[in-house]
Copies of this chain bind each other. A is one copy, B any other.
């Protein structure tokens, strides 16, 4: 395993010159450059990131914090992050926190120990105080979920507006009894989405029925099933359900089918996220499409800018309501 010294010796130049060739600096004469390149080829030399990283005090690694990899919502965002990161010669360290402060802390240690140059946090359950403290010394961006007034830049969508439009769509196709499957309101997005839900109802003169509002601990498939069980037991049964995640919606769909009811004839459903599977169900799911890939690239760009010491502004991206079979017979 050759190192830069050996290449220098082989080429009959100094290590500085080799380094210059390696880093594409144009101040090297083409004759010397060729000598060096030959030596590199001959010795099968590969520069060590270890040495370079220490010297440059950087790891060129980006820490991505997600609650769990099994929520497909994050997949496309991650692809966006990765693509941009690679283009800038960064790589990503994908970290599942399981919303567990202990695991979270293990990962935070990676940036404290210089193993990562910055963090993109997508974990709604992240310890905000720790994050804020960390943000004083390290580059941090929040993606999708964020903390207001934390001073940490974020990229997200207008959750209230998205929710408002989803519910309005249900109203427009004739629904008045609309249930909301929301996650815990300790999460900002949950508070924003219920706000949009209520605004849509109120604007259309529909009285809010608290029985129709279900909170779930997580936003997974089983939670959707459980929540739907409750909804189906309601005396004056809703004719539509707006779920704040596709996984919840798919759980609801399954439960409705199991009970011999039909979507959308008996109950219409709107989900949120446009995960791949929202198109594989029967019927396909009407859902709020977040520009996930874009969100990923934007987050990555923000983080890398921040690492470079530039000033970074938060960004709100557009969303879109995708009407599919679960709301249109």
Interface residue ranges, A against B (CB under 8 Å): 1, 46-51, 53-54, 57, 59, 61, 69-70, 72, 75-76, 78-79, 82, 86, 91-96, 106, 109-110, 112-115, 137, 221, 250-251, 253-254, 257-258, 276-277, 279-282
Contacts and interface: CB of A to CB of B under 8 A. Distances in A.
A329 to B, nearest CB: 15
Contacts of A79: 69-70, 96
Contact of A57 (B50, B96, B106): B50
B82 A78 contact: no
Nearest to A110: B91
Tally of this chain's copies: 2
Contacts of A94: 92, 94
Contacts of A96: 79, 82
**What 5 A-B pairs are tightest by C-beta distance, nearest first?**
A49-B115, A46-B112, A50-B54, A48-B114, A54-B54
Given A49-B59, A49-B110, A94-B94, 19 more contacts: A46-B109, A48-B113, A49-B115, A50-B57, A69-B78, A70-B79, A70-B276, A79-B96, A82-B96, A91-B95, A91-B115, A92-B93, A92-B94, A250-B280, A251-B280, A253-B282, A254-B280, A254-B281, A281-B281
A284 to B, nearest CB: 9
26 contacts: A1-B137, A46-B109, A46-B112, A46-B113, A47-B113, A48-B113, A49-B113, A50-B53, A50-B57, A50-B115, A51-B54, A53-B54, A69-B78, A69-B79, A70-B76, A91-B93, A91-B110, A91-B115, A93-B93, A94-B94, A221-B280, A250-B280, A251-B280, A277-B280, A281-B281, A282-B282
